């Protein structure tokens, strides 16, 4: 007698002493996604996804193929968004009814945005690492986003020390009783050796993890978050740069000296009035040029402040 495939599903095998498992599934699943925001047409991008459910009953395993098929079919059909991921997580629960109380899906990708140069009439592409996630239970859905912006940070302490060196160099270059004209000072400042010291700056990263009140149907809200963060930091790294853009970048860095503590406060404040967010965790890493280690600062607000462990 020929047995049907469902009759030999070893995942359904009961194990009397099986421990409940919080999450079982797959991570780093290769998949294409559709990215859409504003009124622009959707474009395809490469992504990696995680798909999990809990295993509450004393059976051997879950139905991983159900997760894989539901995930990949949904991502191919519609643009990625918190709304889509909430539907995917809900479908995971439905396909594991009776054995799971929780489902979780996360999609990791890089979002390409075209950004204008600071002064010149040029523009270029920038890549923003991003993750969307949704967790479904019988009580409801929780969605969230993680994204990273990159910027330049110039150390305030180093800038002060550099200014002192320039003052000392100026004092050495002119006798105390010497009469100075405006033209003489300008000429001195233009000499290569007048700058006796320069402050150290470094490429820096700001990462935001946020929980969402609403469930957006596209990524317009994510683009808005990026723009608010870069506006607050003021020294976002650039793509296409001409001489006038580089000079403007130097000016912006001089006017926005930042410790890690300053940068993370700017980021948190920039998102504090966003009606879409119920909680944020802002983290910055200044990839030091002076030290072999990084300077890091973090601050959590809203519902993430209740769960974030500082140490």
Query: pLDDT by residue (tens digit) across 252-272?
Result: 999 999 999 999 999 999 999
Residues in the chain: 311
Which class for 207: exposed (0-12), middle (13-18), buried (19 or more C-beta within 10 A)? Answer: middle
DSSP 145-204: EEEEEEEEEE-HHHHHHHHHHHHHHHHHHS-TT----HHHHHHHHTSGGG------EEEE
The predicted pLDDT at position 8 comes to 47
**Helix, strand or coil for residue 37?**
coil
Q: What would the pLDDT profile of 120-154 be if each residue is shown by its tens digit?
A: 999 999 999 999 999 999 899 999 999 999 999 99
Contact partners, residue 150, CB within 8 Å, separation at least 6: 203, 204, 205, 206, 236, 237
Per the CB < 8 A criterion, the answer to whether 212 and 276 are in contact is: yes
Give residue 4's pLDDT.
57
Identify which of 205, 39, 216, 23 has the alpha carbon closest to the alpha carbon of residue 132: 216
Q: How confident is the model at residue 245 (pLDDT cuts 50, 70, 90)?
A: very high
Q: What pLDDT digit, counting tens, does each position of 170-215 carry? A: 888 888 878 888 888 888 888 888 888 889 889 999 999 999 998 9
pLDDT above 80 for 9: no
Tell me the pTM: 0.89
User: b/e map of 73-87 (b: 16 or more CB within 10 Å)?
Assistant: ebbeebbbbbbbbbb
What mean pLDDT is reported for the chain? 91
pLDDT band at 82 (very low <50, low <70, confident <90, very high): very high
The pair of structure tokens assigned to 294 is 């990084």
Q: Give the rounded percent of residues in the chain with a pLDDT score beyond 90.
A: 71
Taking Cα atoms as reference points, which of 126, 146, 177, 120 lies closest to residue 50?
Answer: 146
Determine contact, residues 8/1, Cβ cutoff 8 Å.
no
Chain mean position to CA 245: 25
CA distance 51 to 28: 9
Query: Phi-psi category of 126—alpha, beta or left, where left has phi over 0 and alpha has psi -120 to 50?
Result: beta
CB 282 within 8 A of CB 264: yes
Q: Sign of dihedral through CA atoms 34, 142, 264, 294?
A: negative
Which residue segments constitute the domains of the chain, with CATH numbers given? Answer: 18-155+200-305 (3.10.270.10), 166-194 (no CATH)
- Check if the beta carbon of residue 161 is closer than 8 Å to that of residue 197: yes
d(CA 74, CA 31) in angstroms, rounded, equals 11
Q: Please give the average per-residue pLDDT across 40-50, as a whole number.
A: 93
Q: Which two tokens stand for residue 31?
A: 């998949």
């Amino acid at each position: 007698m020929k047995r049907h495939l469902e009759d030999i599903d070893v995942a359904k095998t009961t194990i009397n002493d099986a421990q409940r498992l919080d999450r079982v599934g797959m991570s780093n699943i290769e998949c294409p996604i559709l990215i859409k925001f504003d009124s622009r047409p959707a474009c395809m991008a490469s992504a990696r996804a995680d798909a999990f459910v809990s295993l509450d009953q004393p059976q051997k395993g879950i139905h991983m193929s159900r997760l894989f098929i539901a995930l990949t079919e949904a991502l191919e059909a519609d643009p990625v968004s918190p709304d889509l991921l909430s539907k995917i997580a809900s479908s995971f629960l439905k396909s594991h009814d009776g054995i799971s109380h929780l489902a979780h899906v996360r999609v990791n990708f890089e979002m390409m945005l075209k950004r204008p140069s600071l002064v010149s009439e040029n523009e270029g592409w920038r890549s923003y690492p991003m993750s969307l996630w949704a967790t479904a239970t019988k009580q409801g859905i929780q969605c969230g986003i993680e994204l990273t912006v990159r910027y330049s940070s110039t150390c305030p302490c180093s800038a002060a020390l550099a200014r002192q060196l320039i003052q000392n160099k100026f004092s050495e270059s002119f006798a105390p009783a010497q009469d100075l004209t405006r033209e003489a000072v300008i000429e001195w400042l233009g000499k290569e050796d007048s700058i006796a010291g320069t402050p150290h700056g470094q490429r820096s990263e700001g990462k935001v993890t946020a929980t969402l009140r609403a469930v957006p149907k596209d990524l317009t809200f994510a683009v808005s978050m990026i723009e608010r963060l870069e506006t607050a930091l003021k020294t976002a790294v650039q793509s296409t740069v001409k001489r006038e853009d580089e000079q403007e970048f130097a000016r912006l860095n001089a006017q926005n000296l930042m410790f890690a503590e300053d940068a993370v406060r700017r980021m948190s404040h920039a998102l504090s009035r966003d009606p879409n967010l119920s909680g944020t965790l802002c983290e910055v890493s200044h990839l030091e040029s002076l030290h072999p280690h990084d300077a890091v600062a973090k601050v959590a607000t809203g519902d993430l402040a209740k769960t974030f462990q500082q140490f």
